Amino acid sequence: MNIPKLEDIDIPEPVIELVNTLLEPLAKKIKKNGRLIKEHVKYEFSIGALSQYINNSYNRHLYFNSLVFRNEQKLVDNYYLPLTLLKQENSESELNDNRESYLIDKFPYDLILKYKKILIVDHGGMGKSTILKRILLSCIREKQAIPIFIELRKLSRKKNILDFIVESTKTINDEVPKIFIRDLISTGRFLFLLDGFDEIDKDEQAGIISSINKFITTAPNNWYVMTSRNEDALFAFPYFQRFAIKPLYKDEAYKLLRLYDQDNKETNANILISKLNNTENRNVFDFLTNPLLTSLLYISFKFSNIIPNRIHIFYRQVFEALFEKQDLLKEGFQRKKSCNLDIDQFDELIRHFSLITYGKQKVEYLKTELLEYIDKAKILTANSSVPSSHIAHDLTHGVPLMTEEGNYIRWVHRSMQEYFAAVCICRDSKEKQHQHFLTMYTNEKHRNLTMLCADIDPLQFRKTVVKDLATNLLTEFNESYIKLTNIPKELINERKKLTAGKFFVICKSKFFHDGDDPVHERKFLAVNRASDFLTSVHETTSTIIRLAFIDDNIFLGLYIRRPYILLNDMEFRTLIPFAKEMENYEYYIYQGESQISKLNLPQEEFIIINDDPNSPVNQKDNFGIINNLLFNLNFPYEWYIDHEHAKKTLKLIEDEAAESNSLELFG
């Protein structure tokens, strides 16, 4: 057996110190128990193999790939702009603008010690994976814990977290005993960095969720940080505290732009910043809140010297920059392409490839898989004679939209796949575009794709998504609460505005304030109880948006029903003219929480807030107070339907369609 020894491995000082300070003392403690590893050789091998794993992980995450540098590896430390995590509360305390925040400029010990299980949820390009890289590096350097970085898409029903660690520490000749790793983990000195929950294969998701929960139950004393875009399935982890990434301020975005110039004698960043400060370019500031879009702006401006004002133009200019000038940091250098396709031919092929793979939710491929998907895309285009291997080579070299990582090839960033898929939907799939639009906007998983399609083809978005939302919400508004004849009309209209497209559950229970468990644990239990109740009434297509614990014993849950889930996204909401912000709501009834105690509700019973005349929430004495509760739970982050505006919007869309149908090309 070849035993890897520390002195035989080129290991940086931070890793050596972590091994000496944490790993070896923990391993000796386990060895001393005498029940795990009796052979001295196996013990030495396990220490060496785990040390090598930590070293490999450290070296791997020292660097990052970026479209800005054409897949040239750069040190994270030289380009990392410290990002801030903002706590997300599912309670009325979220209404406070002074949310708990943590700057990730070093190991976030206070954050991790306080919450132990952290879920970072945000849109693509906000820096979720980059934050995990930074946490891993600082964890090793500051000797806080033994970090295990896991890209969750690499797990499956047949490969759990423990299997992944065993596989990752395996050498050619042997592997670390699973029982040794399990007992090391049981000491509670590990930090698990679980990246990309949203990238898990849909068919594997349920099994992986169960596996993660089971693992955490058996190893509860460790620390866990998970990242994901927003997904319904994340509510399977109610014991994780949610955080979002604070959008960049203008000065932070400018600092990031200047970081990209640090290896370059030119001053492209300063020229760009000067142009951004011109009044006509102020509308671009919204894009600068996202680190990825800031980097794309840098690329596109360096290539074209133009500041695009629409998101899909960003992506197009980045693609053109990659295709026409493969290395923008080496003026005059243009790498030849193997496939010999022009930019339009290559674009068409990648569009179809992207839509095919997006539909499969695949962002990472074995070489054979990549070639198979390229073959399918070629059938849909006029490029069948081009060898697929040449196209695959260009995707990682000539036009580096992808990067090679070991045996796998993956998109440099998932948003590039989404861009090409969106263009394919809007330009190459006209006969299916209507159905594509209606399908994708009802699922948060497709949020980025939906926003890109709306930007590329706003007219079709209006004719499908806006029309569908207006029709559905107006139907619900007009057909609800018509049997409550004893309630004043103004109160009825308020209730309909507040509840259209939403689903509320209320419960009055001593459980929420008299339990022995800590408050946050009771909240998690409340989520589970509410979820169990929802399942029992078949409301399985709702997404929990906010929970509140009011007057110590009132639990109130706000859910958004399909197809209205994306209305909870403020950026998407700007595209829907009749979904108004709650902060503009002219609320004039039953102010003051003092009346909550007057609610006459049964104890220990979940009640759906609907238009049932016999429901206690619709009794005359309770109705206005319930409206007040709903308003407070909505305000200020949610939306309400302006039904008059919705009617006008629907009429306008129908008139536009009639006018369009009457147009003739000749005559």
Residue 92 phi, psi (nearest 5): -65, -15
Tokens of 375: 């073959």
Sequence letter at residue 139: C
- Longest distance between any two alpha carbons in the chain, whole Å: 94
Q: Does domain 6-245 have CATH number 3.40.640.10?
A: no
- For the four alpha carbons of 272, 276, 280 and 284, in that order, the dihedral sign comes to positive
**What is the pLDDT at residue 530?**
67
DSSP character for 7?
A: G
Burial class (CB in 10 A: 0-12, 13-18, 19+), 97: exposed
User: How many whole angstroms separate alpha carbon 452 and alpha carbon 455?
Assistant: 5
Point out the residues of the chain with pLDDT beneath 70: 1-10, 33-41, 70-71, 89-97, 263-266, 279, 325-336, 510-532, 534-553, 562, 583-597, 635-637, 662-667
Query: Both tokens of residue 152?
Result: 């969750």
Distances (CA, A) of 279 to 144, 270, 282, 284, 311: 47, 16, 5, 10, 19
Q: How far is it, in rounded angstroms, from Cα 224 to Cα 149?
A: 10
Closest to 549 in 3D by CA, of 114, 53, 47, 90: 90
Phi, psi (degrees; rounded to nearest 5) at 262: -65, -25
Query: For 139-159, what is each residue's pLDDT tens digit?
Result: 999 999 999 999 999 999 899
Please report the pLDDT score of residue 534 as a whole number.
Answer: 65
CA 405 to chain centre: 22
> Is residue 71 within 8 Å of residue 65, measured between CB atoms?
yes
Cα dihedral 360, 365, 368, 371 in deg (nearest 10): 70
- Interatomic CA distance for residues 175 and 203, integer angstroms: 29
pLDDT at 617: 93
Under 8 Å between Cβ of 46 and 27: yes
Q: Please state the pTM of the whole predicted model.
A: 0.82
With CA atoms as reference, report the closest residue to 433 among 404, 459, 407, 409: 459
Question: Beta strand 63-64 with 190-195: parallel, antiparallel or unpaired?
Answer: unpaired
**Is the CA virtual torsion 480, 486, 490, 494 positive or negative?**
negative
Tell me the chain's radius of gyration from C-alpha atoms: 27
Structure token digits, residue 166? 């065993």
Question: Cα separation of 334 and 327, whole Å?
Answer: 7
Return the residue matching tokens 């309670």.
Answer: 91
Q: For residue 156, what is the DSSP state?
A: B
CA distances from 117 to 193, 222, 228 (A): 10, 9, 14
Q: CB count, 10 Å around CB of 636? A: 12
- Over residues 21-67, the pLDDT tens digits come to 999 998 888 777 655 545 444 778 888 899 999 999 999 999 888 77
169 within 8 A of 126, measured Cβ to Cβ:
no
What pLDDT does 625 receive?
Answer: 87
Cα distance between residue 622 and residue 483, in whole Å: 16
pLDDT of residue 332: 43
Report the pLDDT value the prediction gives residue 241, as an integer from 0 to 100.
93
Total residues belonging to the chain: 667
List the beta strands (DSSP E) in 406-501: 408-411
Residue 580's DSSP bridge partners are 640
CA dist 655 → 470, 474, 646, 651 (Å): 15, 18, 14, 6
563 prior amide bond cis, ω within 30? yes
Name residue 543's beta-bridge partners: 560
> CB-based contacts of 9: which residues, under 8 Å, 6+ apart?
48, 51, 52, 55
Domain boundaries, the chain: 6-245, 250-324, 343-456, 475-648
- Residue 324 is predicted with a pLDDT of 80
